[in-house]
Structure 1
Amino acid sequence: MAGKYSTVFFDLYGTLIDIHTEENSEAAWTALRVALYREGAQYQDNEQLREQFNREVVRANATRTRTEWFEPDFLPAYRGLLQACWADGSIENARKVAWAFRRGSTTKFNLFPGALDFLEKLKARGLRVALLSNAQACYTRPELQLAGLDDAFDEVILSSDEGVRKPSNELFRRALIRLDVDPREAVMIGNDARNDILGAYVAGVDGIYLHTDDANPEVCDSAVCSLQGADYAGALDYIDKRLR
């Protein structure tokens, strides 16, 4: 076993935030279409809007490096939806309509009980905590504020900003460099056996697996610790053993 942990990387959705979204629902696309209309961009129906959005995603990310785990950034696509109708495509307006879509697609959103307390306890032990999430910044940054997590992390690393997503070793490498931490002194906490835990394992980082989603296995073989549900007490107990 290497040195003591100094840094804890966190997944967000399914790990700290209990969320369910339906991006393909008519309600989500109607909410976006209404928000665009309010900003002066009119689309005939949801089908036309979907087709234009897909074109804008491709166009907006055309110059980004494509890898196996490429992650597009949706915010420029929302700007493109506005500009395609000669509406004001400012960043502010793009964020506004993106948020309308996100809220329209979200059917459940809340912090898992004890999540904020867990982060505070880790910080009280002198550990740095960082968010490492497969996420769109235009959705996640407002949701961090909504959940009271906007000041909870020492660093926030999102796949849409980086152009690459977990389980890519490249994203973990960037996170380790950003925090200036040896992989042997870091631990990743997440609920996705492949993206969070196997990805961390390949990067030389320990993983604590929280089984919060029945779509994932109950136990993750590549984790140093597998727990049922959002068992922050169990995770803290394991981390404490590495601090002694």
Structure 2
Amino acid sequence: MDIRALLFDVNGTLIDIETDEGLEEIYRAIAHFLTYQGISLHRWEVRDLYFQIMQQQRAQSAETFAEFDVIEVWREFLRNKASDYTRSLPSEKREQLPLFLAELHRGIARKRLRPFPQVQETLDQLRSQYHMAVVSDAQSAYAVPELRAVGLLHYFNPIIVSGDYGYRKPDPRLFQKALDALKVRPEQALFFGNDLFHVISGAQQVGLKAIFVSYNLGNTSSQTISPDYTICRFAELPQAVNYFTKLE
């Protein structure tokens, strides 16, 4: 096979991350911050409205695998609860508040953020030979800063994130967007991910060879989905690439 590009899922494949959106301190901090923007709410009111708007976004979508837009969630939150004082804030500040709230929410929810072992070393081996891209179920407000924080952002272009499009994997359109941006055909690329249903099946639908990364807690069992190759450590990735380059 004439392999020219490598596509990756992020969380559970490149990055070892743990978050907990149920933490009380998230909504306490946001409620306290909002008082300085003219909005007075109890922390549980913040939590309930946040999840309510997110669920409404998904429910109103016509997509089979609907994704929410976290910036729009917080923008709607502010529209819903803004006071006269909030509306009197400088327009530049009001425009930045949804992004700031998204980052604040994610930052407090995050318990762990680090690359998996040997990720950087392995990507360094391959970057001169292959174009590399990300296809992730995530929000750009989270994914891009987190890739930067662990030193991985510069390896990937494009970065395709579901929150920017309104649909999630296994929708094959996300994979196709990466292929189109890279100007390669499906048979010229490999995809690496840690979830058989959402990741591996979506990649295979568009014609990609899909390598299952089995070292993390994705969906690991399926009676109908079989990966084209499996690795147990990221350092085994060059071996997988070599296997496919030798196929006719």
Q: CA deviation at 1:6?
A: 0.9
Identify the residue that residue 162 of structure 2 maps to in structure 1.
159
Identify the residue that residue 52 of structure 1 maps to in structure 2.
49
Identify the residue that residue 74 of structure 1 maps to in structure 2.
70
Residue correspondences, number: 237
Residues 226, 59 of structure 1: alpha-carbon distance in 2 compared, 3 angstrom cutoff: closer
Instruction: For residues 28-83 of structure 1, give each alpha carbon's deviation from its aligned partner in whole angstroms, at most 9, with x where no partner exists.
Output: 22233233334x14342222112322454467789x85210111111022123334
| Long gaps (5+) in structure 1 | none
Contact 2:19 2:109 in 1 (8 A): yes
Alignment of 1:132-211 (within 5 A): 132-211=135-214
Q: CA deviation at 1:149?
A: 2.1
Identity among equivalent pairs (%): 26
Counterpart Cα distance in 1 of 2:228 and 2:46: 45
Q: Which has the higher helix share?
A: 2
Residues 174, 215 of structure 1: alpha-carbon distance in 2 compared, 3 angstrom cutoff: closer
Identify the residue that residue 239 of structure 1 maps to in structure 2.
241
Counterpart Cα distance in 2 of 1:165 and 1:57: 15
Residues 76, 41 of structure 1: alpha-carbon distance in 2 compared, 3 angstrom cutoff: farther
Alignment of 1:100-111 (within 5 A): 100-111=104-115
TM-score, scaled relative to structure 1: 0.86
Q: Which runs of 4+ in 1 moved over 4 A?
A: 58-62, 218-221
Residue 4 (structure 1) aligned with residue 8 (structure 2): no
Secondary structure in structure 2 of the residue aligned to 1:71: coil
Identify the residue that residue 18 of structure 1 maps to in structure 2.
16
Which moves more between the two structures, 187-196 or 173-182? 173-182
Residues 219, 181 of structure 1: alpha-carbon distance in 2 compared, 3 angstrom cutoff: same
Contact 1:189 1:210 in 2 (8 A): yes
| Long gaps (5+) in structure 2 | none
Contact 1:41 1:82 in 2 (8 A): no
Supply the RMSD in Å over aligned alpha carbons.
2.5
Instruction: For residues 132-184 of structure 1, give each alpha carbon's deviation from its aligned partner in whole angstroms, at most 9, with x where no partner exists.
Output: 00001111122122112222202100000011110112222222222221111
Identify the residue that residue 26 of structure 2 maps to in structure 1.
28
Secondary structure in structure 2 of the residue aligned to 1:151: helix
Contact 1:36 1:97 in 2 (8 A): no
